[in-house]
Amino acid sequence: MEYQLLEFYRSEFQRLWILPQRLEGEPKSPHPGIEQARHAAWMVEEMFNYANGTKAEHYDEAKVNRWIGFIQGVLWMYGVYRVNDLREHVIRAKEGKLFSSKS
Q: How far apart are CA 87 and CA 37, in angstroms?
A: 19
- Look at residue 6 and tell me whether its pLDDT is greater than 50: yes
Identify the residue with better confidence: 54 or 11: 11
- Would you list the DSSP string of 25-78? SS---SSTTHHHHHHHHHHHHHHHHHHTT-SSSPP-HHHHHHHHHHHHHHHHHT
pLDDT band at 8 (very low <50, low <70, confident <90, very high): very high
Per residue in 56-103, pLDDT (tens digit) is: 566 778 888 899 999 999 999 888 999 999 999 999 999 988 875 444
* pTM for the model: 0.81
- Nearest CA to 22 out of 6, 38, 2 is that of 38
Identity of residue 48: F
- Alpha carbon dihedral 53, 76, 74, 45, in 10-degree steps, equals 30
